[in-house]
Structure 1
Amino acid sequence: MKSLEEKLGYTFQDRGLLDNALTHSSCANESRGKLQSNERLEFLGDSILGMVVADHLYRNHPDLPEGELTRTRAALVCEESLVEVAQELGLGEYLRLGRGEESGGGRRRPSIQADAVEAVLAAVYLDGGIGSARKIIQKYILSREVAGLTKPRDYKTALQELVQRESGQVLQYRLTGQEGPDHDKRFFVEVDLNGAPLGAGTGRSKKEAEQMAAHAAIQALKKE
């Protein structure tokens, strides 16, 4: 855990908060009540992240209209962005997973990694206050704005333009499932090209899942 604290640039006074943030529900369930999952921390972390990012954008971009602020915030806090943060931190190797989730590749599962980032941010907030959480968000998330990574990734438009190079091509997005409580829904979408599956994606909204499905489809077409 010390190596993770060094990456975060923050040392916990209560190490139990960090342990909790890294405990997936599969591990908590197997402990038969001895451990608490990181779901509550993830709920709190989602709000903290959204507030800090919104506050930053509002203060630093007085010229941007509400729509642009919303799209920029969404690009910074989406699952794909949080997974990139998790990978920078090497968060997967620190996760506490149940045996089934471990054998099923849970350490690399995007939704688990993204949730863990939010849970860690909440743990830092509870342990050291909003200033400490803000520093980490600035370092790992808001820095992407400076790098020009806040522009919404419109993979659906890119896919449409790609397939329209040939006439008669028909794209269709299908919601194939959803899971999780209301405050933490996961949507699963598949995109078909002329009736054949081309890509699948997940997201915290149907729109985000469609974007991820389009991204997967673009990658598939590039390999052909």
Structure 2
Amino acid sequence: MIELDKKEILRYLGYRRNQELTETVDQEIQELMIEVQKISNPRYTFRIFECQSNEENRTIEVLGTGLLFEGKSIYNHLKHAKKVALLASTLGIEIERKIRQYSLTAMSKSLILDACCTEYIEKICDLAECEIEESIAEERLVLNRRFSPGYGDLALDIQPKFLATLEANRRIGLNLSESLLMIPRKSVTAIIGLFDDPKLARPRRKKLNCTDCWMNQTCNYRR
């Protein structure tokens, strides 16, 4: 099993640093950190493409896909990249059903399991990054951190073409609702730049820099 970070789960639950846990909550967290991995069906898929930046329009074109990333945030994230990796991952529908079941019978477990899912999908994305890194080892390219549609000023309306490019429905069972919500809900799409100069890569970090996000003044996690 993957080792999940309990501190991150507590952060997702809104616990403050050094806030005391009851024995009951602590036990539920320990149990659900195991349960999330037993019930989930984690899968991911990725593809790597060459990309081209347009300084005048501040856009990034993913060559051969029809994808065009627009926005200051994503432009700054990728403007020096030689290639870009498109990633989609999901925990599957089974864990969604378990969360709904707990919401009817044990609300605290539902909330904790949801937080465990958030931590678990991040760990699955970390594994995917390792595979991406291995796949480009001979090219000596350096990855920067994950950047998802909806971060900064990168609009969510790129999601349909993004998932179509990855054939995410066929490969991992990932779909979109009419309102662009991912189904299953515990899923992630992300863009990772690949650079030949480590100094330009803004190397990947565990968490997104808050200053890059449009919610940086209102985000509960930041507070």
TM-score strictly above 0.5: no
TM-score normalized by the length of structure 2: 0.30
